[in-house]
Every structure is written in C-alpha cells, then in structure tokens.
A and B are shown apart, each in its own frame.
Chain A
Amino acid sequence: MTPSIAIVRIETPHWRCIPLWIPLFLLWIPAMILSPIIFLVLIGLSIAGRVKPWRALSLLWDLLCSLPGTNVRVTSEGTHVSVRIL
C-alpha cells in the first residue's frame, strides 16, 4: 500500500501548530499526468547506471510501498516536531 497521508506536527513553547494532514494520495494526480516523463527519466537513469529498468522500478515501488508506518519525533529546546506517514 502506498503512503496515503503524512501527519506533520510542530510545537514550540510559544506556538502550537495544529497537525497538518498532507494528503499524499493526491500526488497520484500529477504523478499520473507526468508518468510518461517520469518513466522515460527512470529508464534513462537505469540505462546510464547499467541497471535493469524494470528491476529499478520494482525496487523503487517497494520502497514507496514500505513507507507507511514510519514515524519520526524530535524534541529539542522545547520544540517538538513529529512526522508520521500513514
């Protein structure tokens, strides 16, 4: 399953941001429109790197699909930043 939403939360001692829900699934729209260009660029890069294009595409897809569940939280000097990918 590809990432559908990223939740970004930033809190400082003076300012608190509401959780930002970033709809990553909407990126499919520009991705679909630009897919021929992206495809050609990936093929070109794969040939330049002497890697099988389909293998490269498959691995990149695997990487994308394994992103959900990633969670990064950093707190420093009273500032709290949290990024979650669902």
Chain B
Amino acid sequence: MNENRRQILELLAAGKITASEAEQLLAALEPDSTVSAHTFTSAVSGSNGSHDSTAKIHAKYLRVLVEADETMTGMKGPTTVNVRVPMQLLRAGVRLASLIPPQAHDQLDEALNRHGVPLTLSQIKPENLEELIDHLEDLTVDVDGKAGNQTKVRVFCE
C-alpha cells in the first residue's frame, strides 16, 4: 500500500473524513481515468486517420460500456453497464488460460467450432496472446442499435 493511500485510510479511521470523501481521494490517486476513448483515438490517430505511434498513450484499462433501452431489456428505464478492467488482469487471465490441460484442448476446440468460432487453442502460443492484448490498446468498438433501438455498446481502452 503506498503512502498516500495509507494516509487517506488513516484519516478515515480517525473519523476526520467521511467514507465518500475517502473514496473521492482514493479515486483521485488512481491513474488518470478521465481520458475518453475519443481522446485516446485522437491521440493515436492523425486527422486523416493515420496511426501516429509517437502520440500513443499506454492504455491501462479496458472499458466496456453498454446502454440498453427498455425495448431491449424489458425493464423500466434504461439499463447501463460500465465495466473497467485493468489490462494487467487481462494479461493474467490470458496466462491463466495457458493452464488448460492439453487433453482439454480438443473438447474446447470442438465446443468453439460448434458455436461458430473456428479456433484451435493449441495453436495459440503465450507470445501470440501477449501480442493480442497489446493490440487491444488500439481497439475501439462502437455499436449502435437500429432506428428505434437505442442500445449502444462501446469497447475501448484508456
């Protein structure tokens, strides 16, 4: 635990600040999370859409935002899901997937094929997966629903 975080927790324990104040302070300590996808894509792409590696921001989080309207969910009012996953967690998850025993690969391949994902897990090496995660940093996916359906999905890194 770093010194700043410890001080905030001590202030909270001493009752000098409220829980919500401590939460705000801890949030302020976190790496800049205000960089939007637009800022990010603007930084990595020039005005003509060309890739500018000199301005590239090293992404720390994968964000998934979902906004679904009533017609999609059947619930009252809009439903929103906002998930922020550290890239480090993705890397750890990918490495954890390498623990899948070889004898399970065939079954997984078969199941993936059955669901329309023609993938052979045994051909994916850890170095490929690392590369895949690295390239996620350049990913921005925007999906808008058809007219009358206000569902939106955004996947981007920040």
Q: Which residues of A contact B (CB under 8 A)?
A: 1, 4-5, 7, 18-19, 21, 49-51, 55-56, 59-60, 62-63, 65-78, 84, 86
Given contact pairs A19-B23, A50-B101, A51-B101, A66 touches B83 in the complex (Cβ within 8 A)? no
- Flag if A69 contacts B30 (CB, 8 Å): yes
- Is the C-beta of B88 less than 8 angstroms from some C-beta in chain A? yes
- Is the C-beta of B89 less than 8 angstroms from some C-beta in chain A? yes
- Is the C-beta of B79 less than 8 angstroms from some C-beta in chain A? yes
- Flag if B99 contacts A55 (CB, 8 Å): yes
Given contact pairs A19-B19, A76-B75, A67 touches B89 in the complex (Cβ within 8 A)? yes
When distances are taken between beta carbons in the complex, the residues of chain B under 8 Å from A76 are: 73, 75, 77, 79-80
- Flag if B86 contacts A49 (CB, 8 Å): no
Say which residue of B76, B89, B98 sits within 8 Å of A70 (CB atoms). Answer: B89
The secondary structure that dominates the B interface is: mixed
Say which residue of B12, B81, B92 sits within 8 Å of A59 (CB atoms). Answer: B92
Given contact pairs A4-B1, A74-B80, A59 touches B75 in the complex (Cβ within 8 A)? no
Say which residue of B19, B84, B88, B99 sits within 8 Å of A66 (CB atoms). Answer: B88
Q: Which residues of B contact A (CB under 8 A)?
A: 1, 5, 9, 12, 19-20, 23, 26, 30, 60-61, 73, 75-86, 88-89, 91-93, 95-96, 98-99, 101, 103
- Flag if A62 contacts B92 (CB, 8 Å): yes
Measured CB to CB, the nearest residue on chain B to A63 is: B92
Complex Cα spacing A84 to B23, Å = 10
- Flag if B81 contacts A74 (CB, 8 Å): yes
- Flag if A63 contacts B101 (CB, 8 Å): no
- Flag if A86 contacts B88 (CB, 8 Å): no
- Flag if B23 contacts A71 (CB, 8 Å): no
When distances are taken between beta carbons in the complex, the residues of chain A under 8 Å from B5 are: 4, 86
Complex Cα spacing A66 to B62, Å = 13
Minimum distance in angstroms from A17 CB to a CB of chain B: 11
- Flag if A63 contacts B77 (CB, 8 Å): no
